[in-house]
Amino acid sequence: MNIIMLGAPGAGKGTFSAFLEERYSLPHIATGDIFRENIKNNTELGQKAKSYMDQGLLVPDELVVSLVADRLSKDDCKAGFILDGFPRTLVQAEALKETLADMGAQIDYALDFECPDDFIIERMAGRRVCKGCGASYHLVNVPPKQEGICDVCGGELYQREDDAPETVAKRLEVYHKETQPLIDYYEKEGVLKCVDGTIGRDNVFKVLAEMLG
């Protein structure tokens, strides 16, 4: 099962991907996580990506397309994958289609998690992420058992630089301009499934389980 996660920044793609990863034993490939990992390790890719990310802008297509193609060629993607945060532009969507065609594969589901902007803005203000494993929490909606500490690995929780309110506004603007057109694109491809992203985490899990079996 090959799945793409669509939706605005902060719509919950990371949380829902983790659920699907566990349920269907598929690798969860999150381009934002890959970039953050590269920044942490101060790689060349990380250095190139950082300034775009801190400003709430997209990293240029050429940096991300080859990275994803490379990742999808790995053995663990043969039985399927969850792509979270990619594609984010029409150029990326077309490149993905070609990469998959070369592998004799195609997208089965493009899941769009729908959330209004004001909902996103409020959610991002409370989002906290683990420095150790990248797990995502919310001060009010998904609090960790112990304040400031990751339930999964005991790591320290922090607020991402790009979750600052001004940057969130910029990311939403970029989302509407660059990424929202993909909803039409995947509708035309016949693989789009829309999910209300505002109904709470566990309700979304139920909807996903019913939808995907």
- What residues make contact with Zn ion under the rule CB under 5 A? 130, 132-133, 135, 150, 152-153, 155
> Would residue 128 show up in a list of annotated catalytic residues for this protein?
no
List the one residue out of 211, 57, 201 whose CA is nearest residue 115: 201
> Would residue 127 show up in a list of annotated catalytic residues for this protein?
yes
> Would residue 88 show up in a list of annotated catalytic residues for this protein?
yes
Residues 127-166, one symbol each (x = binds ligand ADP by CB under 6 A, - = not), give -----------------------------------x----
Which residues within the stretch 36-65 sit at the binding site for ligand ADP (CB under 6 A)? 52-53, 57-59, 64
Residue appearing with tokens 């203000």: 125
140: three-class secondary structure by DSSP: coil
Cα–Cα distance between 171 and 175 in angstroms, integer? 6
> Would residue 23 show up in a list of annotated catalytic residues for this protein?
no
Token pair for 149: 């500490």
190 CB burial (10 A radius; 0-12, 13-18, 19+): exposed
Is the peptide bond preceding residue 87 cis, with omega within 30 degrees of 0? yes
Residues 64-103, one symbol each (x = binds ligand ADP by CB under 6 A, - = not), give x--------------------xx-x---x-----------
Among 2, 32, 82, 129, binds ligand ADP (CB under 6 A): 32
Active-site amino acid positions: 13, 88, 127, 160, 171
